[in-house]
Structure 1
């Protein structure tokens, strides 16, 4: 026996293979803690809060510098199981974690992805709901809601209507979490249908609701993101795999066009956190039998990886003053796609704009100063694991604290209620979405 190989094997992280079964809270925690211990150089495990019953809302971070944000490294997240009885996403994210850490340093694509991205994975946003399900069911169980009987995907502030319902501990934890990181891209994993749904989930005349759709100023990017995921899932891309359900062309849909909902998480991410999020419905059956889990993993593995890569679309960089100091809270947006809550630089002066290849005029506006306009061309083919880097130096000199104070955060009110149509994406004739019936399965 080659002793050198034996010693090398003893030094490498050892993690028991993750089996294909449903992992309850204790088993999930044991797995996550084992990963964090065995792969401590690229992972960090923490809880962002607790459920109503006091269960931890665990997040495992995978990245080259997992414990802290680094300038130029975008933040990505997956969240699953916010409906406790929609279980496939919960197990897929555990297997994704296993797949990522076990291939780091061995698989070039995975290694580059981890080294260039900080990936946050929350397998269960609603652990109380999951534990409450006594008997798996394809349609509905009491575990859908949290312990207080609130649907967490109707519990966020809404940009279109007043929804002054009691915010739940799980919801508040996610809202707080979004303020601590500069998330760029996200997906939340559900079950009960097979489709990739993109914002908006609610709507108003300003976003095209009279045409049975509700489109964001970044509709082209959102359609690309949804199709990127669906097109790599052999069943989702067919669009008609769930019996007695809608036929989704190419496996994607606008959320409002499917059916409107108030207080959804993906709309909140986009409006208030500058984070592009889509909703992934991964199984016709909400809580399928365990023996089906390997098939769901095989169908979604490529999609899960390819979707993470999309965090590197578009452009990124920093905004500096004339002395080279980074400027926080500076508006950085494409001129013709303004957001109702303007996208701003973070405390490091960083910005990230997810954009498809093309020519854009970027508007950089610091409080109290005239807009600075710059044309940027994003090439058709660019490096896979980095957006186009473009820093901006403004001919101003100002104290960072004063800039921060003068730019309060966007208010939590129905922002679109009285807004006129604000984007070319919402004008008639660009897309034809047909009115659909409210289905048995909900996001």
Structure 2
């Protein structure tokens, strides 16, 4: 503990003198910076790669928290993702500055300390390092937007409203999809540029019941609006709604994604529908790649909002669902009355569930095969002030009758991974390959 405190003091002292330079650090410089932090502060940071870009650059994620190497029960997982579009470079800069801010103020700043002690924070500064390296320093042009294969990564995820089974998933997208399988993220945001607004799901629609007055409304719309307003009103200008001279006015500085423009294959909808993670898209600068002299001002405008948004991971209710023997169970369905999610929220491998909810009274229904369905009415306080959502554990009772557990749609149990780069379709005739794939999927469903 003494050695850690000493290292933290030295890092804080050096940061207070020098700080992280405001600039566009290339991939090698960014990697070295992240490794330096992890080497200096191994007790509160953990650095790992979730995969590689098309050109072989690592997709580095730095985890910050009291227990950075592993999940702890009751500690929610939060993430920020930047630079999905390679030429939208401000998010990459701000996330590196956020890392510097959090690590240099841990144990000295009460807000930072409580944030890192009460949540596990994952930061991916650059999802598209290849695009960044090829970008031009221009405000509104698209050079560097796409990955090395010329694909827009924010149009490449499986879509809840359109069939995209024949679409190849890019390496960067598959890396994020795999990442979401390994961590039970609760709240997230991805940082973009070219406007100043907080956008929330849905991004797309098939013109079904979700389409209301030109908006594509999700079952958790009230929570999403609250999250978007939390960011916009904590930002120095976003809430005014007209920060960019050439963009439309956004009331309160927020917008429903579909109402702004329909976007199929977006990452925020994928997070919400398939990963049970509520995600916003944060447009944080009018200019996608502004002059470096503007970066300190952009950091000052966004810093309070980045911190306030992180604290919202403590909204609502959390807990562990246990069987009749008191053992945590995976895939128990936890439903909130009045919120019919496309894919029902389920407990993770630790038996945990998290539901972001605004303060109020809610009816929670828990179903699990071989056990009686339990329905509880709970009152949810405002958790962010206490840095903890309401804890509500559930002990199920064994049933001799067949379960009435909610049947999960096939699309929820077998997410569309698309055509893999390593697929060896040439080794088998297409018909044989397809038949074999369908057979394996059928066997997996029978076992699940």
TM over 0.5: yes
Deviations 1:202-243 (CA, angstroms, capped at 9, x unpaired): 013334336311011000000000000000112111101111
Given that residues 316 and 383 in structure 2 are in contact (C-alpha distance below 8 angstroms), is that contact kept between their aligned partners in structure 1? no
The normalised TM-score by structure 2 is 0.86
- Larger RCO (CA under 8 A, 6+ residues apart): 1
Given that residues 7 and 40 in structure 2 are in contact (C-alpha distance below 8 angstroms), is that contact kept between their aligned partners in structure 1? no
Given that residues 47 and 58 in structure 1 are in contact (C-alpha distance below 8 angstroms), is that contact kept between their aligned partners in structure 2? yes
Given that residues 204 and 214 in structure 1 are in contact (C-alpha distance below 8 angstroms), is that contact kept between their aligned partners in structure 2? no
What residue in structure 2 maps to residue 300 of structure 1?
302
User: 3-state DSSP class of the match of 2:117?
Assistant: helix
What residue in structure 2 maps to residue 357 of structure 1?
359
CA RMSD of aligned residues (A): 2.1
User: 3-state DSSP class of the match of 2:132?
Assistant: helix
2 CA distance for matches of 1:48 and 1:392? 33
What residue in structure 1 maps to residue 10 of structure 2?
12
Given that residues 312 and 384 in structure 2 are in contact (C-alpha distance below 8 angstroms), is that contact kept between their aligned partners in structure 1? no
User: 3-state DSSP class of the match of 1:228?
Assistant: helix
Deviations 1:2-51 (CA, angstroms, capped at 9, x unpaired): xxxxx968973355520111111011111111110111110000000000
User: 3-state DSSP class of the match of 2:180?
Assistant: helix
2 CA distance for matches of 1:308 and 1:209? 29
2 CA distance for matches of 1:10 and 1:242? 40
Which stretch shows the higher mean deviation, 375-384 or 269-278? 375-384
Q: CA deviation at 1:412?
A: 3.6
- 1:9 and 1:136, CA in 2 relative to 1: closer, same or farther beyond 3 A? closer
What residue in structure 2 maps to residue 410 of structure 1?
413
- 1:329 and 1:208, CA in 2 relative to 1: closer, same or farther beyond 3 A? closer
In the alignment, structure 1 segments of 5+ residues that lack a partner are 1-6, 414-443
- 1:328 and 1:146, CA in 2 relative to 1: closer, same or farther beyond 3 A? same
Question: 1:329 aligned to 2:327?
Answer: no
Deviations 1:140-162 (CA, angstroms, capped at 9, x unpaired): 23200000000000000000012
1 CA distance for matches of 2:121 and 2:399? 35
1 CA distance for matches of 2:360 and 2:287? 40
What residue in structure 2 maps to residue 154 of structure 1?
155
What residue in structure 1 maps to residue 264 of structure 2?
262
2 CA distance for matches of 1:380 and 1:143? 42
What residue in structure 1 maps to residue 425 of structure 2?
none
Deviations 1:115-149 (CA, angstroms, capped at 9, x unpaired): 1100000000000000001x311112320000000
Matches of residues 83-122 of structure 1 in structure 2 within 5 Å? 83-122=85-124
User: 3-state DSSP class of the match of 2:79?
Assistant: strand
Q: CA deviation at 1:199?
A: 0.1
